[in-house]
Structure 1
Amino acid sequence: MPSQACCRACGSRGLQSFLDLGVTPLADRLLTEAQLSQHEPTYPLEVAFCPSCTLVQILETVPPEELFCEDYPYFSSFSPALLRHSKENVDDIIARRGLDGSSFVIELASNDGYLLKNYVERGISVLGIDPADGPAKAAEKIGVPTLNTFFTLELAEQLKSEGRQADVVHGNNVLAHVADTNGFVEGVARLLKDDGVAVIEVPYVKDLIDHCEFDTIYHEHLCYFSATALDHLFRSHGLYLNDVKRLQIHGGSLRLFVEKREDVGAAVRSLLETERLEKVDQLDYYRDFSKRVEHVKDALSRLLRDLKAQGHRIAAYGAAAKGSTLINYVGIGPDLVDFVVDRNIHKQGRYMPGQHLPIYAPERLLESMPDDVLILPWNFADEILEQQAAYRERGGRFIVPIPEPKVL
């Protein structure tokens, strides 16, 4: 398995490690009952900073075929909050760009068509590209044409040669997943019409660090972006970060508006200046992160063990990838948590990686009424609390682990 000796973006050597989460299983590799007795692969999870271009990245690269193809369990449409977020994004882009029936939109990592269907409903031609079999088939079923493959520079060249350049290229939470960072961005440049725009969403590394969101670090997420690192990356491929929006989704994200012409707006200039002043572009900003992560680990472990000592029964909500990082790093196994529930039917009946906690439908909470439920996808805590009003009315409590463990 390749370990990163040089920066994924600029190629510089001298990456400086600042966090080691140990050796962990793949976060989205939910197990069947038959797999529980088989060898479960694990990989180092270490995070480093590039002094040359400021990109934060993990040092290990798991082959993408192991991560995203067969049996990939993530279907975006199971989150109402994400569906609302995506529709608002599409409505904004259509209005901004004056899109109509003659326009063409491509989404990279289009999953189950959750975003592109909003364009289809408005009579705008689309193409999804996604390597995961299940989500790609689900997209086709709802009328979203999808290429079931990885997006590469070669594919971008092919689409361009077929005259299929796009007015808009969407890429939500995919740039961090790509081992060939430069090939991906160069592919975006080839896909765009000269007056087109790439609308890309990435989790924001400043929010990750400031709010101690260490559980968003796992093997699918190879990079963790600042505006400074992104500006470097895009410019190296003749693209320009011209506008940016800060979003609350996924614990804090950036929506980037990237074009072939340079017209850098005030929002980008302001964010770059903020990062410079707060030293997000320097290693010092990241140095004490490891200590703060250790504090959360100790506090959450202590809270759960104290509750168990009081005779509480504890479950968890959401078989999310970030939940896998959390339970494996903190050591939350069957001795502390009885089971996990998740709305995604593709996850029910499986087991969490590493700790092998069984996954059931959310109805299990009312059936067994555990005293406390640990919310693993804490970024959707409000949505989960609303969904589980009946459980709370009957005395059930929720635990939010990040940025500091607390009982609700």
Structure 2
Amino acid sequence: MTRCRLCGSAALASVVDLGATPPCESFLAADRLDEPEPAYPLHLRVCTDCWLAQIPPLITPEETFKEYAYFSSYSTSWVEHARTFVADAVRRVGLGPDAFVVEVASNDGYLLKHVVDRGMRCLGIEPSVNVGAAAREAGVPTLTEFLGPDTGSAVREEHGPADLVVANNVYAHIPDVIGFTRGLRALVADDGWVSIEVQHLLTLIEENQYDTIYHEHFQYYTVASAIRALASGGLALVDVELLPTHGGSVRLWARPAEVAGEPSRRVADVLAREKAAGLRELSGYTEFSARVAKVRRDLLKFLIEAAERGETVVGYGAPGKGNTLLNHCGIRPDLLPYTVDRNPYKHGRFTPGTRIPILPPERIAADRPDYVLVLPWNLRAELVEQLSFVHDWGGRLVFPVPELSIVEAASREVTA
């Protein structure tokens, strides 16, 4: 990478180098275990002119998203998050029965099904063939396509302008951030609204959330860099919300620049927090790599010592972030013999790079391990409750990020 993809500057500084890993969602079928796996450098840099953090576009969205392993509806808390968002957006934007809502990267229809239930017109734009098919089966109209200016204009011409465009957890997934933003502007009505949820670089840095760095995340936003990205497509930020999702996200409320008006006080407050954290100068990034290294050392020490004591550790979940963690730490089946996942698509497959088997969740109760390493730590509250049965035989839950912590019982927690 020699130039910033947003402003074109050559002033890119290293934040953390995680080595080389396979794409995080390229789960291996059993008949592919003897085949080579491509691995790509995973090196996060930040532009010291516009402060957009980014990795090189070494894989294309077409490679990642034509068939995708992630189905949003398998997370109970995420479906509830979507339901609450739709209810709040209806009130905030004033969506009536004739409103038109478009979601970009609509996955399996987890969010738009709540719009359908309200009787409003909607359309999902989802590039993955398999999850888009699942959305249509669930009754959510879905176009299989990537968003760019041409797609946005074609949808607008066929369906009319959207009163609300939703883009949750996709703004980091596109290397052409300017073209994608122009696509959002093409979709939205001239007096409409755009809502974007994306992980907040502030919490990623402060909470050591380095496992959310992977190849399908091309950039990582502060509110300051998001304002510049939105402006590249003719949108202006009017409000922001800080969310607990994915370990710490921002919800960006934007409108066409011509009607946006002055941003809310909350925008100024978050910009001030980012500046105070040093995220508009290199000093805010210099210690991150050392803290990442400590997460790796602590997790490996725990796994090795558990193995030497003859204790069993298995995994829960097979999220993309888990594969960054497993590969960076060099964890193989000798330390983690398997992980489980609720998504049947992943059963019988193996994690990329580390080749750890993925089994159905029922295996944990059958094997009664001493520890369960929870890889989707961002769903902590949901999973502590969901996995409470592990304590029935004295088992404990382990969370690796932001620092190693062991949940010994429902009300007790030990931080290593």
CA offset digits 1:342-399 (Å, max 9, x no partner): 1111111111111111011110001111111111011112212211222222211111
CA offset digits 1:258-303 (Å, max 9, x no partner): 0112330010011112222332111210111001100111111001
Local SS of the residue matching 1:37: coil
| Aligned: 1:183 with 2:179 | yes
Local SS of the residue matching 2:372: strand
For 2:264 and 2:337, the matched residues in 1 are separated by: 51
Aligned to 2:268: 269
* Counterparts of residues 129-140 of structure 1 (less than 5 Å): 129-140=125-136
Q: How far off its partner does 1:237 sit?
A: 2.6
Aligned to 2:411: none
Residue from 23, 30, 35 that aligns with 1:33: 30
Aligned to 1:231: 227
For 1:390 and 1:285, the matched residues in 2 are separated by: 41
**Runs of 4+, deviation exceeding 3 Å:** none
Contact 1:61 1:222 in 2 (8 A): no
Which deviates the most, 271-280 or 171-180?
A: 271-280
For 1:388 and 1:144, the matched residues in 2 are separated by: 32
For 1:282 and 1:27, the matched residues in 2 are separated by: 30
Which deviates the most, 148-157 or 114-123?
A: 148-157
Local SS of the residue matching 1:186: helix
Aligned to 1:297: 296
Aligned to 1:345: 344
Aligned to 2:53: 56
For 1:109 and 1:163, the matched residues in 2 are separated by: 18
- AA in 2 matched with 1:152: G
Contact 2:40 2:58 in 1 (8 A): no
Aligned to 1:99: 95
Which deviates the most, 150-159 or 30-39?
A: 150-159
Contact 2:181 2:232 in 1 (8 A): no
Aligned to 1:254: 250
Which deviates the most, 133-142 or 235-244?
A: 235-244
For 2:345 and 2:232, the matched residues in 1 are separated by: 40
Aligned to 2:139: 143
Which deviates the most, 301-310 or 148-157?
A: 148-157
Aligned to 1:194: 190
TM-score by length of 2: 0.95
Local SS of the residue matching 2:164: strand
Contact 2:65 2:127 in 1 (8 A): yes
- AA in 2 matched with 1:140: R
Residue from 98, 104, 108 that aligns with 1:108: 104
* Counterparts of residues 7-46 of structure 1 (less than 5 Å): 7-46=4-43
- AA in 2 matched with 1:37: D
| Aligned: 1:317 with 2:313 | no
Aligned to 1:217: 213
Q: How far off its partner does 1:123 sit?
A: 0.7
- AA in 2 matched with 1:82: W
Contact 1:197 1:259 in 2 (8 A): yes
* Counterparts of residues 200-211 of structure 1 (less than 5 Å): 200-211=196-207
For 1:8 and 1:272, the matched residues in 2 are separated by: 22
Aligned to 1:375: 374
Local SS of the residue matching 1:162: helix
The 1:234–1:262 alpha-carbon spacing in structure 2 relative to 1, beyond 3 Å, is farther
Which deviates the most, 40-49 or 158-167?
A: 158-167
For 2:11 and 2:92, the matched residues in 1 are separated by: 42
Aligned to 2:360: 361
Q: How far off its partner does 1:163 sit?
A: 5.1
For 2:18 and 2:277, the matched residues in 1 are separated by: 25
Local SS of the residue matching 1:156: helix
Which deviates the most, 322-331 or 268-277?
A: 268-277
Contact 1:44 1:60 in 2 (8 A): no
- AA in 2 matched with 1:378: W
Aligned to 2:414: none
Contact 2:318 2:340 in 1 (8 A): yes
| Aligned: 1:165 with 2:161 | yes
- AA in 1 matched with 2:13: Q
For 2:240 and 2:331, the matched residues in 1 are separated by: 38
Local SS of the residue matching 2:21: strand
Aligned to 2:410: none
For 1:356 and 1:33, the matched residues in 2 are separated by: 10
Percent sequence identity is 42
For 1:204 and 1:63, the matched residues in 2 are separated by: 23
Q: How far off its partner does 1:236 sit?
A: 2.9
Local SS of the residue matching 1:242: strand
Local SS of the residue matching 2:241: strand
Contact 1:243 1:267 in 2 (8 A): yes
For 2:229 and 2:337, the matched residues in 1 are separated by: 45
